[in-house]
Amino acid sequence: MFSLNQIDFDPSLLINKMNKSFLLLEADAAKIHDARTYVIARTNPCFSKIFDLKQDYIGKELASILPVSDKLAAELVNVMTSSEPGTHEIYVDEMNRYFLLSIFQPQKLFVAIISEDISEEKKIEERLAESEETMRLTLDVAGEGLWQWHVEDELVHHNKRWSSIMGHSTDTQIHALDEFIGAVHPKDQEAVNKSSHRVFEHHEPYSNEHRVTLKDGRTIWIEDRGIPIVSSEGKLERVIGSLSDITRYKETQQQLHLEKEVLQSTLLSVGDAIVVTDIEGKIQLMNPAAERISGYKQDDAIGKVINEFYKLYDPSANDFFKETMSPHLLENEQIGENVQAEIVISKTGKRIHVYYNVTPIRLPSGEKKGYVIIFSDISSVVERQKRIEYLSFHDELTGLYNRRYLIDAMHRLDATRNLPFTIMMLDINDLKGVNDTYGHACGDLLIQRTAEFLESVFRRSDIIARSGGDEFCILLPGTSEATAKSIFKRIKKSTGPYYSAPEQISVSIGFAVKTDAEDDIDEIMRQADENMYEDKELCRKR
């Protein structure tokens, strides 16, 4: 047996990925005139698939897989002996399929067969062989414009619907091909010509959407489809097809395109971050604002779950939520309602405050297919709120609590568990003199230094407040009179005389202690204030 590897012919003929079936037969020189003895030398996967081969037939006779009629045998022998290519049609009864065999000789003692399934074409030919009257009635009642172009006379036969679509009288059912071609819109002529060329030259089916200008001047869009009918000799005989008026569809398509462009422009221009996900929370779309917030480009995010880019933060636990972000978001779908949250951006670790709104995307049936999630960055608003809240309870110059917070805290801590409860009042000595001599900036600096000094003296649990321009008040729950005296002495030892420069702290101090639950806390504060002024008089006399 001659080895296939020794054959010298075009390798492209045996490419396994070719979309037509390929069969290579080898003949014994002594039996070259008996085609039924030709054995199978090679097949391609397409051949095995079409003919449903479940085993290897290499080395077996052709008759083991295909019916070899006398005509086919004669054609094979003719090609093998004359080297002239030929064609042959066969019908495989077991498959109920027709095949066109293209036969040629790649090398001596070998013959190759490329087979093509022509069952559909054969069925069309059989249908066209029916009665002309039956065909005409069928065409007339069809919903589409049906047509049949005869190559020989270049006339187009069509049904009444075709005439109606093209603006012709329904009484006439034959037109010249040139008349139809001439109605094609000038801007679509080139595309129609290319499609027609593929039909005429390569016998390929075609489908076109193009415009035609009717006799009354109107322009409509049509979808035109056709299938070539080729004779057994490979000659194009006619083309049959259908034509539909798709003007309304095209107008709707253009309107949808316009709406899409408007939506796209809106997404690009809005400042809020918009993320579209599927039902599982996988990102389908991100607008530029969402890209800026997340730090990721849309191409990097598509198909990934949203919590890979945004993580909800739980302030109470000072950590991320353990579950993914997707269920949390989707459980909070509130059309038109905003939910405030704190989100950590995965890429940068930046923590931002947002309002988010989750709106489901639903089909007309009500089935949910995804979600639109809108994030509004409110970090600046939250920071302003925090600043306002901070200033409502703190002194802006020193950062200490202000009088409002002091009074609230004093009454809140006025409880038996905090006895003895000491209130200590302090006043900066000669602040007016510092302001008059050195300026108010130096006076403010002295106030700030005094605040820093007091923070170094008292406990973190003690409440230090600036209660007035040059006055400070300290709340010391659980502090006895003896301890208060000790603090008094320590402060006096660390501060200067009454008349001082901006860099030297000098304070007058007074305190009072609540020891009985029945005592009035406001009276205790008043006593501490009186004691402070008594100390101030003593400081002036020294």
Instruction: Tell whether 407 and 537 lie within a shared domain.
Output: yes
- Percent of the chain at pLDDT above 70? 83
Average pLDDT, the chain: 81
Instruction: Tell whether 97 and 131 lie within a shared domain.
Output: no
Confidence of residue 62 (pLDDT cuts 50, 70, 90): confident
Mean local confidence (pLDDT), 457-465: 92
**Spatial distance between the Cα atoms of 358 and 372, rounded to a whole number of angstroms:** 6
Domain assignment of residue 197, yes or no = yes
User: Residue 430: left if φ>0, alpha if ψ -120 to 50, beta else—which one?
Assistant: left
Sign, CA torsion 476/481/486/490 = positive
The least confident of 193-197, 328-332, 506-510 is 328-332
Residue 476: its pLDDT value, please? 95
Mention every residue, 6+ apart, whose C-beta is less than 8 A from residue 342: 312, 313, 315, 351, 352, 353, 354
pLDDT digits 0-9 by tens, 101-139? 899 998 899 998 888 888 888 887 777 666 455 555 555
**Spatial distance between the Cα atoms of 31 and 377, rounded to a whole number of angstroms:** 87
- Choose between 340 and 412: higher pLDDT: 412
Domain assignment of residue 262, yes or no = no
Range(s) of the domain holding residue 298: 271-382
Confidence of residue 1 (pLDDT cuts 50, 70, 90): very low
Instruction: Tell whether 516 and 431 lie within a shared domain.
Output: yes
pLDDT digits 0-9 by tens, 259-307? 666 666 666 667 687 888 888 888 888 888 888 777 778 888 888 887 7
Residue 325: its pLDDT value, please? 52
Among 117, 143, 164, the domain-final residue is 117
Among 250, 280, 311, the domain-final residue is 250
Confidence of residue 163 (pLDDT cuts 50, 70, 90): confident
**Spatial distance between the Cα atoms of 224 and 148, rounded to a whole number of angstroms:** 12
Number of domains in the chain: 4
The CA R_g of the chain, rounded to the nearest whole Å, is 48
User: 509: buried, middle or exposed (CB in 10 Å: 19+, 13-18, 0-12)?
Assistant: buried
pLDDT digits 0-9 by tens, 462-473? 999 999 889 999
Q: Please tell me whether residue 417 adopts helix, strand or coil conformation.
A: helix
The least confident of 126-135, 304-313, 477-486, 526-535 is 126-135
The least confident of 49-53, 91-95, 207-211 is 49-53
Residue 326: its pLDDT value, please? 52
CA distances from residue 376 to 274, 294, 338, 339, 461 in whole angstroms, order as listed: 9, 13, 9, 10, 38
Among 250, 280, 301, the domain-final residue is 250
Q: CB neighbours (10 Å) of residue 121?
A: 18
Instruction: Tell whether 361 and 456 lie within a shared domain.
Output: no
Instruction: Tell whether 441 and 526 lie within a shared domain.
Output: yes
